Amino acid sequence: METILFYNAVDRINDNRKALKALFDYLGTIDSCISIASFRSGEKQFCRPEFVSAPENKVRISEVRHPLVNNCVENDIELRNKSLIVTGSNMAGKTTFIKTIGINAILSQYH
């Protein structure tokens, strides 16, 4: 009996594969939005980005900080129609800086 029930469940999952994938995607979106809202409710220092239509590619971020690093150093960055190479010695904060930009770019879009 257990074998029949197992294969019946497998068949039902296969028959509803598209609907289940859509449900998982939807739940993932809701979960990420809840996580960001929860983070922001406890975070006192965040801002809303200003997205502007401009003829040039430009990124300007002032006093950006990593949201998970306590007492971190705030940084500024401005790029206009160019890219950036981050160099420095080991353990100087290159990866943390790049992650800071990425995390803030993602979190800033949920407003």
Q: pTM of whole model > 0.75?
A: no
b/e map 26-50, b = 16+ CB within 10 Å: eeeeeeeeeeeeeeeeeeeeeeeee
The whole-number pLDDT of residue 35 equals 84
Is residue 96 within 8 A of residue 69, CB to CB? The reply is yes
Task: Dump pLDDT digits (tens) for 22-47.
Answer: 999 999 999 988 887 887 777 666 66
